[in-house]
Amino acid sequence: MKIAVINEISAMAKNPDIISALAGHEVFNLGMDPAKEQPELTYIHTGLMAAIVLNSSACDLVVGGCGTGQGFMLSSMQYPGVFTGLIETPLDAWLFSQINGGNCISLALNKGYGWAADINLKYIFEKLFQDPFGQGYPPHRQESQRQSRKMLFEVSMATHRPLTEAALSLPKPYLQEVLGFPGFKEFMDRGEAAQKLYTGLADGLS
């Protein structure tokens, strides 16, 4: 599973904790990193960034968040094909993976982020990846939940404009800041579909 970690400015200091907690997974650190000099990304930027990498299949899962986790969750779900869960505990993580089988998680990285929060992150990821996504819980609800996940995808596709159309209708500075963020183009160049989406968005700005 390819995992993109996308931090925004208010939660930037927690980026090393997230990367450490994901040790052993294939992780791409795309957002703000306190070890680098970078322009600022808000949760509005990172929500769009998450949508681009997920809709292009450049990654399988996005790990994001903000101070409370609410802003990134709301921002990312404004786009088609993004299914975000607000995860605060290991149990949240396991139930999200089993029942919802989503592709994006939002962490509260300031609110309640105190003593042993790095250990909580480690346990969150352990439970998130403990079992294959979408198996269902409890077992007698598996088929109903599978149908609900399928319907939710269809709802997302029906109620949102295509990603390229939606992104190009945003204020240009937001899209330019995302496309021009250090390392983002290089990440999107790794696959044909991702490269095509990136190029389409970049060309649409010119």
Q: pLDDT, tens digit, for every residue of 85-111?
A: 999 999 999 999 999 999 999 999 999
Which pTM value belongs to this model? 0.96
Q: What is the pLDDT of residue 31?
A: 97
Task: Spell out the alpha helix ranges (H) of 77-116.
Answer: 90-95
Q: Quick check: 26 pLDDT over 90? A: yes
Nearest to residue 28, comparing CAs of 7, 50, 5? 5
Q: Is 26 helix (H, G, I), strand (E, B) or coil?
A: strand
Burial of 118 (0-12, 13-18, 19+ CB in 10 A): middle
Q: How many Cβ atoms from other residues are within 10 Å of residue 148's Cβ? A: 15
The alpha carbons of the chain give a radius of gyration, in whole angstroms, of 16
Nearest to residue 97, comparing CAs of 87, 110, 111? 87
Cα gap 126→134, rounded to integer Å: 16
Average per-residue pLDDT for the chain = 97
- Domains by residue range for the chain, with CATH: 2-198 (3.40.1400.10)
